[in-house]
Chains A and B, each alone.
Chain A
Amino acid sequence: ETGVTQTPRHLVMGMTNKKSLKCEQHLGHNAMYWYKQSAKKPLELMFVYSLEERVENNSVPSRFSPECPNSSHLFLHLHTLQPEDSALYLCASSQDFHSFGEKLFFGSGTQLSVL
C-alpha cells in the first residue's frame, strides 16, 4: 500500500473511553502531523513530529496524547474526550519539516464522534 493510511476510518466513543488513532506513511518522509478539521473552520495543526521528535504542540488539551515510535508510524491516543472534540482527524506527512515547500500528503482521516 502506498501513501498515508489511517485507521480507523470512523470512530464513535463515549466521554469516558480510551481509544487510539493510527497513521502509517509509506513515502519515506521525515515529518508527520496531526490535524483537526471541524465544520466551517480552517484545518488546525495539533502536533508535528520531525525525525520522531515532537517539534510542535499547538496548545492541544492533554486529553490528546501523540506518540511517534518511528518515522513511519504516528498515533493519537484519546481519553476523556468532550463532545466538541468530534471532528475529522487527519494525519499528514512531508519530506522534511524544515523544507521550504512543506508539501503535505494527507491520509484519508478518522471521523470521530464523541457522545
Chain B
Amino acid sequence: QKEVEQNSGPLSVPEGAIASLNCTYSDRGSQSFFWYRQYSGKSPELIMFIYSNGDKEDGRFTAQLNKASQYVSLLIRDSQPSDSATYLCAVITRGSTLGRLYFGRGTQLTVWP
C-alpha cells in the first residue's frame, strides 16, 4: 500500500507569516513530487513540482524534498489571505510498470488578516 500522509489541519497563520505544509510518503521508490492548491468549491491546480533533493523556489513558494527522510514540504512566505485553500501533496511512484500518482488527503490552510 503506497501512502501519502498530510496533516489535515486546519493550519492557521497570520498574514505575512510563513506557512509550512508537510507531507510524508511510504514508498522509497517515489520519484516525482507535486503540490496542488484547491480553493473551496474549485478544482485542484498545480503550483509546484520537485524531483531532486533540496529546495526549489518559485516566487513566494518553496518546495523542499528529503528523500532519505521521505518527506516533502511546501513553504509559503509572506502568506496572504488569498493563499487560504487546501493543499494537496501528490507523489509518483514508478515500479515495474507504469508510474502511479498518489494523493494525500490535503491540508487546509487559513491565512487571517
Contacts and interface: CB of A to CB of B under 8 A. Distances in A.
B105 A40 contact: yes
Interface of B: 4, 8, 31-32, 34, 36, 42-46, 49, 51, 88, 90, 92, 98-106
Contacts of B44: 43, 90, 104, 106
Contact of A42 (B34, B42, B49, B103): B103
Given A43-B88, A97-B98, A98-B98, A104 B46 contact: yes
A9 B106 CA distance: 22
Nearest to B99: A102
Contacts of A45: 100-101
A: contact size bracket: 20 to 34
Interface of A: 40-43, 45, 55-56, 90, 97-98, 100-109
Nearest to A4: B43
Contact of B43 (A40, A55, A102, A108): A108
A100 B43 contact: no
* Chief secondary structure at chain A's binding surface: loop
Nearest to A90: B43
B102 A105 contact: no
26 contacts: A42-B102, A42-B103, A42-B105, A43-B44, A43-B88, A45-B100, A45-B101, A56-B98, A97-B98, A100-B31, A100-B32, A100-B99, A101-B32, A101-B49, A102-B92, A102-B101, A103-B46, A104-B36, A104-B46, A104-B101, A105-B46, A106-B43, A106-B44, A107-B43, A108-B42, A108-B43
A43 B4 CA distance: 11
Contacts of A98: 98
Contacts of A104: 36, 44, 46, 101
Closest 10 CB pairs of A and B: A106-B43, A43-B103, A42-B103, A106-B44, A42-B105, A109-B43, A108-B43, A103-B46, A102-B101, A90-B43
Contacts of A97: 98
A42 B25 CA distance: 13
Contacts of A90: 43-44
Contacts of A40: 8, 105
